[in-house]
Amino acid sequence: MAAVTELSFLLFALINNIHAEERITIRYEGGSYTFNPPKEANFCLISRFVGEEKLLLWNTSALWSENSTVPEDLKQRLSVGSVNNISSYMIQNLTHSDSSQNQEECWTEGKVTSEKDISLTVCKTEDEDKVIPVRLGGTVDLPCEGAADNLDIQWLMIDSRYQEEIWTKVFEDSTPSVMDNIKGVKTISALHLSNFMPTTFQQYICLVMNQQQCVSSHPVQVRLQEELMYHSVEETAVLQCNVTDFGDDQPPVWKKWNLKRSSDTDPGQQYLGQNNSLVFSSLTLNHSGVFYCSKTLVTVRAYWLVVCPKFAPPAVELFSEGDDVTLRCRNWEEGMWYLWFMKSNKTGGRIFNTYNIRSDLRRMNIFSLNGSLVISNVSLEDTGEYWCAVLDSDLQCVSTTKILLKYREPFGIHFTLYTVRNSLLSGLLVILCVVVVAVIQRSRRGEQRSAETES
């Protein structure tokens, strides 16, 4: 035992000259945390920092001896396991008092071969994951739900270098952070992220703290938003993949995930792109699906390709500036999905999903109701082609509607037709009124004659 004590003091003397990498892990009250020393280690020392003082919790080579340093409360919750001849040490039934800075130091043949600084945070509650889609180069505010003015907020992001769930701080001392691959600014409780690139799509977590105690945690997953593309059968589709940031010469790998519920177990199909793009020269309805472009295991672009039957003859909808226009989607029924697309001269003929127009261009007040598209306060910028795609329960396109939204010229042919139509309607209304009055007068004369005859 004396040798073990001497070795412990030697370790504490050496540890000041060894840099250990801090690993942040989050657990929840009533849960557990496991220390997994390396297989080749002869023994490990587990220590805990209390302020500036470091206390030895236990030595794995003398865990249950009479002179063991394991605190009594911790000893009752400590269990030892083994998987593939590798020992592990689990602390069960975690409480707030287990939140601490810990250090794992392992020795092999008289030398320190492994050292970890582990920051263990035990939270009271865990919120459900919130998923937020972001476009490439886009900006997003990640909310910290449950935050209050009198509580501290801590933002962390997952560290993808480790297989286990290890977190790193986005901010130090509430200062703006510019990391290797992410720009973050904390505004009140939200995390403002800008210029998102493929390598920065991460999982974040917000910890709501009351002094040193974690009250609740709120995980947020930021994923690549699919770009919605519309095509008709027999057309050509080109899916672009920008991989200029990746230096190797390997072509990008495209993977398709079918949207049909009957294909949930289908692992999908893989394609090799040419010149960083995937080209379909003659589309069919079966080409519909979600395509991911990946390079060196990083998803670079994602597309949701919607392929629909060919258009029927288009309908024409006329408007004057300031009108409210309702565009109706044919063949839509309850239980089906629908998507609206727009192509206008303002966008150079490019097709936009109308919901993205609202969020990106911020010039149209668009909302959907019962399969219809309602555009309030229409302006000249809203002229163009509007397409409605009706999707079944498997998100496969079954029908499509094309509507031309055209401006009613005050003195053009449409205005003339409109004026003539109104004039005809007004004339017919006058004639109808005259006929009704004549019928009423004739009926009254007949009644008077009948009364005179009876008398």
Phi and psi, residue 388, nearest 5°? -115, 125
CATH of the domain at 263: 2.60.40.10
Within a domain: 395 = yes
Residues 84 and 7 in one domain: yes
User: Looking at the structure, do residues 68 and 142 belong to the same domain, yes or no?
Assistant: no
| pLDDT at residue 362 in the model | 42
Sign of CA dihedral 385, 326, 423, 415: negative
Residues 18 and 117 in one domain: yes
Give the end of a domain, one of 209, 224, 239. 224
User: Domain check: are 260 and 372 in the same one?
Assistant: no
Question: Domain for residue 422, yes or no?
Answer: no
450 in a domain, yes or no?
Answer: no
Please report which confidence band the pLDDT of residue 340 belongs to, taking 50, 70 and 90 as the band edges. confident
> Taking the mean position of all CA atoms in its chain, how far away is CA 347?
26
Q: What is the pTM of this model?
A: 0.58
Question: In whole angstroms, how far apart are CA 433 and each of 64, 319, 419, 429, 436?
Answer: 106, 30, 21, 6, 5
Same domain, 131 and 242: no
Residue 425 has pLDDT above 70, yes or no: no
449 in a structural domain: no
pLDDT tens track for 37-85 = 888 888 999 999 888 888 898 888 888 877 788 888 888 899 888 777 7
Tell whether 220 and 231 lie within a shared domain: no
Check pLDDT > 70 for residue 139: yes
User: Considering the domain boundaries, does residue 439 fall inside one?
Assistant: no
Domain end point (choices 89, 122, 155)? 122
Number of folded domains that form the chain: 4
Cα distance between residue 136 and residue 416, in whole Å:
48
345 shares its domain with 402: yes
Q: Are residues 392 and 324 in the same domain?
A: yes
Name which of 346, 354, 362 is nearest 327 in CA terms. Answer: 354
Q: pLDDT category, 31, cuts 50, 70, 90?
A: very high
3 state DSSP class of 15: helix
Q: Are 197 and 214 members of one domain?
A: yes
Q: Do 133 and 110 lie in a common domain?
A: no
**Strand, helix or coil for residue 349:** coil
> Maximum Cα–Cα distance for the chain, whole Å?
141
Tell me how far apart the alpha carbons of residues 371 and 375 are, in angstroms, rounded to a whole number. 13
Domain that holds residue 49: 2-122
Q: Which of 387, 368, 228 is nearest to 309 (CA)?
A: 387
**Does residue 189 sit within a domain?**
yes
Confidence at 379, pLDDT banded by 50, 70, 90: confident
Boundary-marking domain end, from 308, 341, 364: 308
Q: What is the pLDDT of residue 123?
A: 93
- Residue 84's contacts (CB-CB under 8 Å, 6 or more residues apart) are none
Q: How many residues does the chain have?
A: 455
Whether 193 and 281 map to the same domain: the answer is no
Instruction: Report the SS3 class of residue 379.
Output: coil
Q: Does 137 reside within a domain?
A: yes
428 in a structural domain: no
